[in-house]
Chain A
Amino acid sequence: MSGSLQLVLSLIVGAAIGVLSYGYRTPRQAALGGALGVLGTGAISAALGFCMYAADAESTEGVLGIALGAAFAWMFGAGTRAVLNRPGEGSGVGGGGFGESQIRTGAYRLGWWWPWLLLSPTLIILVFFLYWPAFQTFRLSTKLTRLGAPRVGERCLANFSELLIPQPVLVATLPLVAVGLIWGIGLWQRRSNPDSVGYSVARILRPLGPLVLLLALYFIFEDVNGGYRRIYLNTVIISVGTVALSMAFGLGLAYLTFRRIRGVTVYRTLLIWPYAVSPPIAGILFFMIFNATGGVVAALSSRWGIDFPDYTQNASLARMTIVLASVWKLLGYNLLFFLAGLQTVPRDQIEAAALDGANAWQRFRTVVLPALGPISFFLLITNLTYSFFDVYGTIDFLTKGAPAGATSVAIYEIIRVGVDNGDLGRGAAQSVVLFLAVIALTAWQFNQSEGRINYGGA
Chain B
Amino acid sequence: MKRILALLLVLAMLAAACGGSDDSADNATDAGDDTTDTTASTDDTAADSGDESDGDSEAAGDAATIEMWIAFSDDARLGFTRDRAADFNELHPEYNVVVTEFDSYNTVFEQAQLAIEDGNPPEIIHFFEAATQEALDAVDGDGNPIFKSVTEAIGDRTEILGEPVVLGDVVSAATKYYTIDGQLYSMPWNTSSTTMFSNMDILNEAGITEPPATWAEVEAACEAIMALPDAPSEGCITWPNHGWFYEQSLGQMGVDLVNNDNGRSGRATEIFLDSPEAIDYIQWWSDLENSGNYVYTGVQRDWDGTSAAFQAQNVAMLIYSSSDTTALTQAGVDNGFEVKSSFMPYNQDIAYEGNLIGGATLWLANGLSETEEDGALAFLNFFSNPENAAAWHQLTGYIPITNSAVALLEEEGWYNESPNSAVASDQLDAAADTPAATGALVGNFVAIRDVVTAAIEDVLVNDVDVAERMASAQAEAQQQLDDYNELFGE
Contact = CB atoms under 8 A, between A and B. Distances in A.
Contact of B8 (A224, A268, A277): A268
Contacts of A419: 106
A278 B106 contact: no
Contacts of B26: 278, 280-281, 284, 393
Given A402-B299, A421-B450, A147 B8 contact: no
Interface stretch (A8-16, A89-97, A150-158): A150-158
Interface residues of A, number: 52
B483 A144 contact: yes
Interface string B476-489: 10000001101110
A131 B18 CA distance: 29
A72 to B, nearest CB: 28
Contacts of A278: 19-20, 22-23, 26
A400 B242 CA distance: 14
Contact of A275 (B12, B446, B487): B12
B300 interface: yes
A333 interface: yes
A386 to B, nearest CB: 12
A148 B139 contact: yes
B298 A339 contact: no
B447 A421 contact: yes
B298 A402 contact: yes
B47 interface: no
B351 interface: no
Given A224-B472, A420-B106, A275 B19 contact: yes
| B interface: dominant SS | helix
A384 to B, nearest CB: 18
A358 interface: no
B5 A153 contact: no
A120 interface: no
B134 interface: yes
Nearest to B241: A402
Interface in B1-28: 1, 4-5, 7-9, 11-12, 14-16, 18-20, 22-23, 26-27
Contact of B110 (A147, A310, A405): A147
A277 B22 contact: yes
A206 interface: no
A145 interface: yes
B125 to A, nearest CB: 12
Interface in A410-442: 416, 419-423
Contacts of A402: 298-300, 457, 461
Interface string B423-455: 000000000000000000000101100110011
Contact of B457 (A281, A343, A403): A403
B100 interface: no
Nearest to A401: B300
Contacts of A250: none
Contacts of B110: 147, 422
Contacts of A200: none
A123 interface: no
B134 A269 contact: no
Interface stretch (B60-68, B201-209, B258-266, B306-314): B306-314
B487 A146 contact: yes
A399 interface: yes
A243 interface: no
A422 B20 contact: no
Contact of B299 (A269, A343, A399): A399
Nearest to A264: B4
Nearest to B468: A225
B15 A403 contact: no
Nearest to A143: B487
B437 to A, nearest CB: 27
B237 to A, nearest CB: 15
B473 interface: yes
Please classify how large the interface on chain B is, using the bins under 10, 10 to 19, 20 to 34, 35 or more.
35 or more
A153 B454 contact: no
Given A393-B23, A405-B454, A423 B15 contact: no
A293 B295 CA distance: 11
Contacts of A279: 23
A242 interface: no
Interface in A340-389: 340, 343
A153 B473 contact: no
A312 interface: yes
Nearest to A148: B138
B455 A225 contact: yes
Given A224-B472, A265-B4, A293-B305, A152 B487 contact: yes
Given A276-B18, A293-B305, A403 B134 contact: no
A340 B146 contact: no
B483 A153 contact: yes
A209 to B, nearest CB: 34
A144 B487 CA distance: 8
A403 B476 contact: no
A226 interface: yes
Contacts of B312: 293-294
Contacts of B455: 225
Nearest to A340: B5
Contacts of B8: 268-269, 272, 336, 339-340
Nearest to A426: B483
Contact of A149 (B296, B305, B446, B487): B487
A340 B9 CA distance: 9
Nearest to B296: A313
Contacts of B137: 148-150
Contacts of A149: 137-139, 487-488
A421 B461 contact: no
A226 B454 contact: yes
A150 B11 contact: no
B16 A275 contact: yes
Interface in B29-81: 30, 33-34
A135 interface: no
Contacts of B462: 404
A272 B444 CA distance: 45
B92 interface: no
Closest 9 A-B residue pairs measured CB to CB? A312-B298, A276-B15, A148-B138, A421-B447, A278-B22, A149-B487, A278-B23, A278-B19, A404-B461
Given A148-B138, A276-B14, A422-B447, 10 more contacts: A148-B113, A148-B134, A150-B137, A272-B8, A272-B11, A312-B299, A400-B301, A402-B299, A403-B457, A422-B446
23 contacts: A149-B137, A150-B139, A150-B143, A151-B487, A225-B473, A272-B8, A272-B11, A275-B16, A276-B19, A278-B22, A280-B23, A293-B312, A310-B298, A336-B9, A336-B12, A340-B5, A393-B26, A400-B301, A403-B457, A403-B461, A420-B33, A420-B106, A420-B450
